[in-house]
Structure 1
Amino acid sequence: MTQTQISMTHHYKQLSFKERGQIEAWRTPQLQPDGTLTQPLSISQIARMLGRHKATISREIKRGTTTQIKANHRFTTTYLADTGQAIYEDHRQHCHPAFKRELCSDFYAQLTIELKRRPRVHSVDTFVYFYRHTYPERPCPSTTTVYRDINAGVLSLRNSDLPVKLRRRVKGTGQSHSRKNQHVLGDSIETRPAVVDQRTEIGHWEGDLVKGKKTEDQPALMTLTERVTRFQIIFRISNYHATTCREGLETILADYGKEHFKSITFDNGSEFAELATIQDTQIYFAHPYSPWERGTNENHNGLIREFIPKGHSLYNYDITTIQAVQDALNARPRRLLGYHSPGDLMPGL
C-alpha cells in the first residue's frame, strides 16, 4: 500500500486590466503593411497564452463585447477591455455579503445541521468541498467566508459548534534535537528510519494514552494514529499501569494484524516501560516533554475530546461507545488527504 496522492487546491484569481487589454489586442484584427488583416486568436489560444482556463476567457469576452457604429453606419461587435473592466467593477460594487448569504441559504442551513450533529462527520472546510461536489449548480461560499460569517455572529452557528481548533508549537526536528532521554525505555526516536519522517510508507504509527480522571486505577484509552492516512485506533484499558499498557498493545496488534504495524512511536512515560519487550513491531520512544514529536497523535487525541470531555471518568464509556467514536473520526474527510477519509485509505482495518 502506498501513500495516496493529495490533490492541490488552486484558488481563482480575477483577470487584471492588463490581461483584458491583451485579450482586446488579440481579438482585434490588425492591418498589416501589405494591406491584409490578421485573424483574431481563438479563445483556446488566448487561454494558453494567459495561463487561464478557456471558460474564463469565454465568459470575459461575452461580458466585454459591445456593439459599435462605424463611420459608414455599419454595426460591428468587438471586445473592449474598458467595457470588460467597467462591468467587472460594477459587479464588485453590487456583490454584498448579505446578498451572498441569501443566495447560499440552503448551504448554510445544511452546514448548521451538520456541525451540530453528534457524532459530527464534517468540518467547515470538508463540508464546503462536499456541498460543491454534490450540488455543483448551487452557489456555495468559500471556507474563509464561512469562518468570517461565523466570527461576525451573523449566522446561527457559534464557535462552540466548530471542531476543536488545535494548536501545536513546533520546537524542532528530530535531526536537530539534542535532548537525551532521562531514562531509556528502548530505541530512541533519533534512530527511527527517514521513511517514517517522510510519510511515504503506510504502517508507521504514533501512540499515547487519553485519560479521564488522572488516577492510575482509572480506565484510560490507548490511541494509535497512522502517520500517512491519519487512521485512528482507540482501545479502552482498565488502568494505565505498565503491564496493562503492554497487554493492551498486544491485543491491538493481534486484533488488527501485526502486519499493519511496521513501527509505533510512543511517549517516554513510565506507563510505556514494558512496550520495548513487544516483538511484533518496532517500538520507538520520543524525548521527554516533547509532544510535538508525536504531533499527529496529539492532534487526533484532541478530537476525541469532542466526545469525551476532560475530567470525565471513562467508567461511563463502554466498548460500543468507544468504537463509535473511532468510527466517527475515521469517517471524517480531511483536506490533507484530498478530501478522503482515513477509513477510505485503510479499508482493511
Structure 2
Amino acid sequence: MAENNNTTKKRSFKHLSQYERGMIYTSREQGKSMHQIAKILRRAPSTVSREIRRGTVTQMRSDLTTYEKYFPEVGYEIYKKNRKNCGAKLRVVKAEKFLRFADGKILEEKWSPDAVVGYCRNNVYWKEEMVCTKTLYNYIDKGLLRVRNIDLCLKVRLKPKKKIIRKNKKIMGESISQRPEEINKRESFGHWEIDTVIGKRSNDKALLTLTERLTRYEYIFVIDEKDSSSIKKVFDELKVEYKENFSKIFKSITADNGSEFAELSEILKKCESKAYFSHPYSAFERGTNERHNGLIRRFIPKGKTIADLSEWAIRRVQNWCNQLPRRILRYKTPEECFLNEVSKVINYAQ
C-alpha cells in the first residue's frame, strides 16, 4: 500500500466563488446579518465582512441623497486587482548596485553567479541590497541583467557518474585504493592531483596542471613535450622554489596512468613524497584537477596552440583560478587558503 510521506499541510481554505458572492448579495437584499450569511455559506464572519467591505460602493438616489450598497461584480474586480499584487516583489531597483557589480564580474572576469553572491556576503557593506544566488539566476533568466544564460559557462546540472573500478593493467606505482583515508577526506594540506592539458595534437607544447586538494590552489606549467623528462624538469623547479619545505607542501600527488607520469614515483621518492595512481578510465578519481582543467579550457579551448601563448597569458589564467572565490572554501579564494597553509608549514619548520 502506497504511503504519503508529505509533511506539507493541505490548505483548508479557498477563495470565495462568484456563486458565493451572489449569495451574499441576495442575503444582504433580504436583510440578513453578516453572521447569518456566514452560517449559510459555512464561512468565517470575517471573510464575509471583508468581502462586503471590498464590494460596497456609494450610490446616489434621485433626490441626491447617498447610500452604501454591496455589488458582487465590484468585489470580484477588487479581488482580481489584489491578486495581481500578491507574491514576492522584485528587488531590482533596491539591488541595482549589486546587479551592476554582478554584471561586471560575470561578463568581464568570468565569475559564476554563486561566486559573486558569496564574495559580496564576505566583503561588501551593502549586504541589505543583495539578492541570493537563486534569485540572481532568476533575474538572468528574466533578462533583467546584461548577463545572458549563454554567458554562463556552466548552466547544466551533471549527473554523478557511477564509480566503476577497472583492473589496472599498467602498474605505474601505488594504486589510489591504497591512499590513506585522511587524504581522501581532504583533512590535511599538501596532497595534490596532477594532469596534462594538450593544445594541438601535433608539434605543440602542453600544460602541466597541479591542484592542491584542500585549498584548490592551482599551478600551471608550460612543458615542451608530454613526456617524463618534462615532468621531472617541473619538479626540479618546484624543489628550488620550496627547498627543504618541498616534502611538507607536496606530501603526495595523485596522477593518471599516462606515460608522462611513468617516473613520477621515483621523482617523488627522492624528495620523501608519495605518488598514487588512479584506475584506468577513472578521471573522476582526480575530480578536483579535472574540474580545474575545465576552468582552464574557458580561456584555452581545445585546438588552441599552446606554443603561441605568452607566459603572461598562462599566469593570468593561473591567477584567475586562484583568485576566484569558492563556495566550498566559504567564499575565500584558493590563494588565501594556500598561503595560509604554507605559512603554517614554514612557521612550524622554524
TM-score range, shorter chain: 0.5 to 0.7
The one of 301, 311, 332 aligned to 2:303: 311
Partner-residue secondary structure (3-state), 2:92? helix
The amino acid of 1:300's aligned partner reads H
Q: Which residue is 2:279 aligned to?
A: 287
Larger Rg: 2
The amino acid of 1:96's aligned partner reads K
Provide the aligned length of Structure 1 versus Structure 2.
Answer: 253
Q: Which residue is 1:342 aligned to?
A: 334
Aligned-pair Cα RMSD in Å: 2.5
The amino acid of 2:190's aligned partner reads G
Q: Which residue is 2:260 aligned to?
A: 271
Per-residue CA deviation, residues 71-98 of structure 1 (Å, 9 max, x unaligned), is xxxxxxxxxxxxxxxxxx999826333x
In the TM superposition, residue 337 of structure 1 has moved relative to its aligned partner by: 0.6
Per-residue CA deviation, residues 128-156 of structure 1 (Å, 9 max, x unaligned), is 13334513364211100111221233422
In the alignment, structure 1 residue 142 sits paired with structure 2 residue 142:
no
Q: Which residue is 1:240 aligned to?
A: 226
| 1:1-349 equivalence runs, <5 A | 93=86, 95-97=88-90, 100-118=91-109, 120=110, 122-133=111-122, 134-136=124-126, 138-164=128-154, 167=158, 169-172=160-163, 178-215=165-202, 217-257=203-243, 258=246, 259-278=248-267, 279=269, 280=271, 281-347=273-339, 348=342
Partner-residue secondary structure (3-state), 2:150? helix
Is the contact made by 1:104 and 1:139 (CA closer than 8 Å) also made in structure 2? yes
TM-score relative to the length of structure 2:
0.66
Is the contact made by 2:120 and 2:127 (CA closer than 8 Å) also made in structure 1? no
In the TM superposition, residue 256 of structure 1 has moved relative to its aligned partner by: 4.0
Partner-residue secondary structure (3-state), 2:101? helix
> 1 CA distance for matches of 2:266 and 2:92?
59
Per-residue CA deviation, residues 79-118 of structure 1 (Å, 9 max, x unaligned), is xxxxxxxxxx999826333xx2222222111111111124
TM-aligned CA distance change 1:160 to 1:253, over 3 Å: farther
In the TM superposition, residue 158 of structure 1 has moved relative to its aligned partner by: 1.2
The amino acid of 1:144's aligned partner reads K
Of all paired residues, the percent bearing the same amino acid is 38
**Structure 1: where are the runs of 5+ without partners?**
1-16, 18-88
In the TM superposition, residue 312 of structure 1 has moved relative to its aligned partner by: 0.4
Partner-residue secondary structure (3-state), 1:230? coil
> 2 CA distance for matches of 1:248 and 1:209?
12
Partner-residue secondary structure (3-state), 1:125? helix
**Structure 2: where are the runs of 5+ without partners?**
1-10, 12-81, 344-350
TM-score relative to the length of structure 1:
0.66
